[in-house]
Amino acid sequence: MDIKLYNTLTRKKEVLEPINKGKVGLYACGPTVYRDVSIGNLRTFIFTDVLRRVLEFNGYEVKHVMNITDVGHLTDDADEGEDKMILSMREEGKTAEEIAEFYTQKFFKDTERLNLLQPTVIPKATEHIEQQIEMIKDLEVKEFTYQTSDGVYFDTSKLKDYGKLLGQKAEEKEEGARVEKNKEKKNPTDFALWKFSPEDEKRLMEWDSPWGKGFPGWHIECSAMSEEYLDTPFDIHTGGIDLAPVHHTNEIAQTQGARGHDPVKIWMHGEFLLVDGGKMSKSLKNTYTIDDLLAKDFDPLAYRYFTHGAHYRTQLNFTWHALEAAQNALFKLYDAARGWHEPSEADQDEVEKFRIKVSDDLDMPGALAELWRVVNDETMDSDVKAATVLKFDEVLGLRLENYVAQPLEIPQDVLKLLDDRRRSR
């Protein structure tokens, strides 16, 4: 069956045609590990997880690469501002390495709670400085770079189609770019490949380079590491829609400049998560985390189920009431699964109906509709229903195997209360 995916670059659905038959190279922008990852960011990781599951559901072998940004990059798209890692060091009284390790482990704890598949390769930016330097050197040889007093920059005027990911021309990006003016830049959209360490300050994260001691710009790590593990071009690159205007646009520019071709065939982007109809932000104190959900007695998988209720390319509005409704539906599903017999053979016609939904640009709302139609089908034998729904769960990722044909688990404190009552009679 054909898998159709929406390509941000071409602005249309395309049939997936992998570069290597039967195999898919998938790169996902990973977390910047200087603080907890919000449920908004985690929505993007769930979308990538669903994509991988759909590919594997259709028989593809997936090499899934996700980077860890453990270098203290700067706080805005203008290559200016304070270093994110240093900000966390100041707040928490830890070293950069301690902060990176702590939040890396925290991230993977959250992804395990959400039942996300572990990526095949998880490269760290700090362990691939050499590859980043080599790519910058290649760009320098091909005359795409220039130096200023604070670093080495990419000259975006050298690419006629810079900004094509979102269909923008360079002059349009200049008007709308979220960047500050840097008088030494040749063009407002030029971006740092390598930043120099201040002469009067020793950074805790800095490296020697042909241009001087410093640290890599944010964008170069993904270009270098995706090439290291997937070669170029590769099949699919995912990330949040917020990364498309700058980060992913600059990834394309770097690979075009260094290699003479685009890095990726299909670009896929997940839309924003809203909170109570508005933006999620630290100032509004609504950048909720998985710990926040747990503190209110929500199962993290209820959040996974909640995200399945909207297409990944549409904005999704988070409210506590909506999450409660999702958890109620999930628990209803678990209760139904407990009442089924041991699974036998799945109904292949139903599996194919489900496959059609998920293979059409990850239509998860449609997939949930197929799920509940089967769950509520009173004519289907429960052993067949169990097998069919477990097959669906290879994509849904709701851990239904823990509930199918299992007795209702009664908490120990309730068992003790019942036993005490029996003894008192």
Q: Phi and psi for 259 in degrees, rounded to 5?
A: -115, -15
8 Å CB contact between 234 and 267 = no
Which of 178, 165, 114 has its CA nearest to residue 269?
Answer: 165
Mean pLDDT over 239-252 rounds to: 97
Global model pTM greater than 0.75: yes
Mean pLDDT over 217-227 rounds to: 96
CATH 3.40.50.620 residue ranges for the chain = 19-270
Does position 78 have pLDDT exceeding 60, yes or no?
Answer: no
H or E element in which residue 36 lies: none
What's the pLDDT band for 394 if we cut at 50, 70, 90? very high
Provide the percentage of residues in the chain whose pLDDT is more than 90.
79
CATH code for the structural domain at 298-402: 1.20.120
CATH 1.20.120 residue ranges for the chain = 298-402
Mean pLDDT over 192-196 rounds to: 95
What pLDDT, on a 0 to 100 scale, did the predictor assign at position 71? Answer: 82
What pLDDT, on a 0 to 100 scale, did the predictor assign at position 88? Answer: 66
Residues 6+ apart with CB under 8 A from 291: 36
What pLDDT, on a 0 to 100 scale, did the predictor assign at position 201? Answer: 72
Rounded CA-CA distance 40/256 in Å is: 31
Rounded CA-CA distance 187/141 in Å is: 20
Which of 145, 131, 143, 100 has its CA nearest to residue 220?
Answer: 131
What pLDDT, on a 0 to 100 scale, did the predictor assign at position 417? Answer: 60
Side chain identity at residue 2, one-letter code: D
More confident residue, 405 or 421: 405
Q: Does domain 19-270 have CATH number 3.40.50.620?
A: yes
